[in-house]
Structure formats: structure tokens, C-alpha cells
Amino acid sequence: MPEHQLTMLWHEAGNSHYHDRFVELSKVANLTVMGPKTFQGTTFDPEKFHFPVKLFNSVLSSHWLTFIPSTIAFYREARRADILYVHEEPHSLVAFLSATLRLGRPMYIESSAINLKGNLSGWNVLERFVYKTATKIIPKNHEVADVLHRRGAPRSKISSPIGNGVSKSSFSIVDKSAARSALAQKYPQVSDAFKKGGLVLGYAGRIWQPKGIEILAQLAQELPVTILACGPVADDYLVDTLVAAGVTVLPSLQKDDLRTFYSALDLFILPSLSTKNWREQFGRVCIEAIYCGTPAVGSHVGGIPMVIGASQTFGAGNIEQAKALLTKLSDEAERAEILRWQTAHVDQNFSWKAIAAQVLAVTHLKR
């Protein structure tokens, strides 16, 4: 049994979707996980938990920036922890409260900051106090590291990036022919798409302009490819644009259907753009596709190159670069080679076991 005490605080602690991370961390440390009972109107259900989590009452819990624990037990636990790992942004109120409890004691902040909102041009004294108190600040990717430095975090306190993880038990290969049959049976509109021949390209995520959705319509019109897209709709006009270009649009899919969707594809694409206030922090969907046996390409934005390899990226919104890359990967042998590399890469860096090892290293815990 691991001897070392690690206490993690996260507003999504009660979301069972992320509990595989806690399971792996518990194998290398005595882990306590804390979070609010209710966040953004959702009350978490302990019956669904895959890992025991300590939930506390909180106020102002409609946003991660403002939620404040309202029970003494939280403050007692945060104070006495050997190591406190705060999975919250450094400019959040709970990060500041945690910092006041940890003066002179190890505290690590994991951040996905993508802009300077709330920084007040460096005059956010609460955020500056967090940087002064924290042992290390852990960025989600290299772009986040640069943003943190611009927000005032000393370079000496910014660690190497630690990405998100994906569970191989949730996302694994389904035989391609069987996946296509199952998908067509549940969503008949894809039947004709699979009959067209040529490369089957897919996208999963929000149908939202910053995700670079328009390039999918351009690709469908300019290359001999079949494109499937699924996800919640944020911009209605984009659905019309995609359908007019011949893209088959499905609704947002649950985990089991997503596994089938990824396995049915020849290639996955994440064409996100870079905006003033938003960047693709990680690109989790790329790893999900890879674990389902489908290689991934995407734009050179945020955490995407870190996940899939820079050589499988194109300039954000650059249709010519995207077309050249897809033309190259129309060759099955090329795709197989990319998939072999990407599978080994994500296993080594982005499985939950790998993430646990990286947390172990940055916090200087020893097995």
C-alpha cells in the first residue's frame, strides 16, 4: 500500500467520468479527493462513483472561478494534507483560499489557463499570492505554460505539462465492419455515407465556430472523402453549412456510441482554431479515437500537437495544408504507421497510468 498522502481538490471530483484518474493515482499514493457536492446545478450521485470522494457543501458554485467551500471539514483536510494538489485555476477563489491554508507547505496548482481574463494586467493580488505560495504550477500544455507566465507565474515554478488521460477500458477497438453496421443500424443516415467509398473522415465535439467546423465543409467539397460529424450544436448555421456540403451530421453521442463511431472511421480530425479567448486545451477526442484504432490529425493549436504529433497537424484554418495531409493519409499503409506511433505515444504519455506517474514525479512522491 502506498505510504504517501496526496489530497486533490477539484470542482469536478464528483463527476464519475473522471474517476479512472483517481483509481490510478490511488495505486501510487494514499489519495484523498475532495470536491463540491453540487456544481453548476448538478448534484453528484455517490452511487455512480468508481472512487470514494469527499464532497462538501459550497456557495457560489455556479462557476469554478467563484465556488467557496462552506464546511469546516474542507479547511481542516486542506490544511493537514501532506501534499495538496489543487486542480483549479490560480485566479479562482478556492485556489486563493487553499494558498492561505498552505503557507510553507507543499501545494501544486494544475492549470488550463488559455487567456488573461481576470488577471487585471498583473494586478490580481489574490492570483499573485497563489503563485508566491505554490510549490509548482502544472500547465495542461506548452501554450498554457506561456499564458501562466504572462499572468505572473515565475518560469521557475512552471513544471513540464501534464495532459489529461483517457481510459483504455472505455475506448477500445471495435471491428471496423461491425462498427459501421452497428452505427448504420442506429443512425440510418450514415448508411449511404459508408457506400460512397474513399476515405471516411470523422469529427466529434461541439458544432461551434472556434472548433474550425467550416473546414470540414470545404474538405467534403474539394476531396473524395466521406465526412461524419457528431456533437452538441452551439452554432445552428454550421449544421446547415455541413449538410449542404454533404457532411453527415449526427447528434451528441454517449460513450458506447462514441466508441462505435470512432472505430467506424478511417481517420479522425480535430480542426480547432485559435481565438483571443479560447484554444483547444488538450484534444481528448483524438486519444479516444486512437484507442479505438483510428489515427488522428488536427490543427496546430493548443494541446493538439502534443497529443497526436506535430507532423500530423496543419495550420489552423489552412485548407491547402489540410488537403495535402489527408491526401497523404488516403494511403492505408501510411495510416497504419501513424496509428502505431500514436498508440505508443498516448500509452506512454496520456493513459491514466502515465498521468499518475507524471503527478508522482512532479510532486516528488516516491513509490
Q: What is the mean pLDDT of the chain?
A: 93
| Cα–Cα dist 49/35, whole Å | 13
Domains of the chain, CATH where assigned: 5-165+351-362 (3.40.50.2000), 176-349 (3.40.50.2000)
Residue 127 CB burial class (10 angstroms; 0-12, 13-18, ≥19)? buried
Angstrom distances, CA of residue 108 to CA of 13, 20, 134, 367 = 16, 20, 6, 19
Beta bridge partners of 202: 228, 268
pLDDT digits (tens, 9 = 90+) for 23-61: 999 988 899 999 999 999 999 988 888 888 999 999 999
| Cα–Cα dist 41/43, whole Å | 7
DSSP state of 330: T
- Measured from the Cβ of residue 335, the count of other Cβ atoms closer than 10 Å reads 18
User: What pLDDT sits at residue 49?
Assistant: 87
Residue 107 CB burial class (10 angstroms; 0-12, 13-18, ≥19)? buried
Please name which of 281, 280, 273, 277 lies closest in space to residue 117, comparing C-alpha atoms: 277
Give the pLDDT mean for 213-221: 97
CB 258 within 8 A of CB 250: no
User: What pLDDT sits at residue 2?
Assistant: 60
| Confidence band, pLDDT 50/70/90 cuts, at residue 192 | confident
Give the pLDDT mean for 131-142: 95
Give the pLDDT mean for 137-149: 94
Residues 6+ apart with CB under 8 A from 366: 4, 360
pLDDT digits (tens, 9 = 90+) for 296-318: 999 999 899 999 999 999 999 99
User: What pLDDT sits at residue 162?
Assistant: 94
User: What pLDDT sits at residue 367?
Assistant: 47
pLDDT digits (tens, 9 = 90+) for 113-122: 989 999 999 9
Is the pLDDT score of 325 beyond 90?
yes
| Cα–Cα dist 146/139, whole Å | 9
Residue 123 CB burial class (10 angstroms; 0-12, 13-18, ≥19)? exposed
Q: What predicted TM-score, i.e. pTM, was given to this entire model?
A: 0.88
Of 141-145, 200-204, 267-271, the one with minimum mean pLDDT is 141-145
Helix (H, G, I), strand (E, B) or coil at 297: strand
| Confidence band, pLDDT 50/70/90 cuts, at residue 3 | low
